[in-house]
Amino acid sequence: MAIIEASRAEAGLVQRALEAQAAYLQDVRADMGLPGEGWTTVEAFFNDDKAIGEFLVFEQSLNEGADVKTAAALLMTDYGYIIAAAVVPLYVGFGLVPDLSPASIALLFHTKEEDHDGKLHLRRRADVRFLEDGFWQGQLDSHPDEERFRLEIERHFTPVVETVHARTRLSRAALWRLAADAIAGRFLDCGRRFGTVEAAKTSAMRILKVPGSPLSNRQLQFFDLTVLDEHQREFSYTFRQRGGCCRFYQVDGGEYCSTCVLKDPGQRDDELRLAMRQHLRLV
């Protein structure tokens, strides 16, 4: 494992990775530098009771009937998306692992409207700034950095989980499952982005399934489904089976997500195959 310091060539690799991340994900932009006006470190944010309260109220304002535990699950879903969007592309595309200690990451929050299962929803997003200029670099064709990545993810989310749990009493296990879902989902999408789907899936499972890790749970996995197109050729697609639940089904007018851990697998697969056929315009 080599650590990248601030030499010109190595800094160039980090810059290319950050530029690729920015081109890939417009709603979460990752960069490196000092925090400016409006930025807050993760450590400061999750030690600010008022800020956490406002985040929970925001989630409840978007989902009528959401209790505090549902708001906590939605908060973790949104926050997990932010961190995964900032760090997973750097790892999958370039083999880079940043320092993810909460004091070394700054956030600039904003809101964004996005589509989810055919409906527009307002989401809380944030740009992410790495305050330390050291990145660990592993080999893209091997996996010596998987443990480093896992440890950095665990180090980052541990105080986040503890804070949200203490404020809302949503269980730590439920919060860790949502964090793992976010990481797994972004690994799959990054694999598609960088043309390394199978390697990304394999690496994600090695990172997220380590016995004893709070990220590990039995339900989280990837699975493939296949349908026939109009020419009777097989069309296959890989999905992420969630290990956690965002509790959206409990809000007024809510429902289970397409790969919700609470869904019957047979019903889930039937619904997903129908969506695949709709994508192919067969129905």
* CATH code where residue 189 lies: 1.10.510
Number of domain units in the chain: 1
**Structural contact between residues 149 and 156, judged by C-beta atoms closer than 8 angstroms:** no
**Structural contact between residues 56 and 75, judged by C-beta atoms closer than 8 angstroms:** yes
**Structural contact between residues 190 and 89, judged by C-beta atoms closer than 8 angstroms:** yes
Q: For the chain, how are helix, strand and coil distributed in percent, rounded to 5? A: 50, 20, 30
Going by pLDDT thresholds of 50, 70 and 90, the confidence category of residue 5 is: very low
Chain segment 111-148, per-residue pLDDT in tens: 887 765 566 678 899 999 999 888 888 765 555 589 99
277 occurs within a structural domain: no
- What whole-number percentage of the chain has pLDDT above 70? 92
Looking at residue 283, its pLDDT comes to: 58
- CA–CA distance, 114 with 125 (Å, rounded to integer): 11
Chain segment 163-196, per-residue pLDDT in tens: 999 999 999 999 999 999 999 999 999 999 999 9
104 occurs within a structural domain: yes
66 occurs within a structural domain: yes
70 occurs within a structural domain: yes
Full domain range(s) for residue 53 = 2-218
93 occurs within a structural domain: yes
Chain segment 40-97, per-residue pLDDT in tens: 999 999 999 999 999 999 999 998 999 999 999 999 999 999 999 999 999 999 999 9
- CA–CA distance, 255 with 246 (Å, rounded to integer): 10
Looking at residue 235, its pLDDT comes to: 94
124 occurs within a structural domain: yes
14 occurs within a structural domain: yes
pTM to 2 decimal places: 0.91
41 occurs within a structural domain: yes
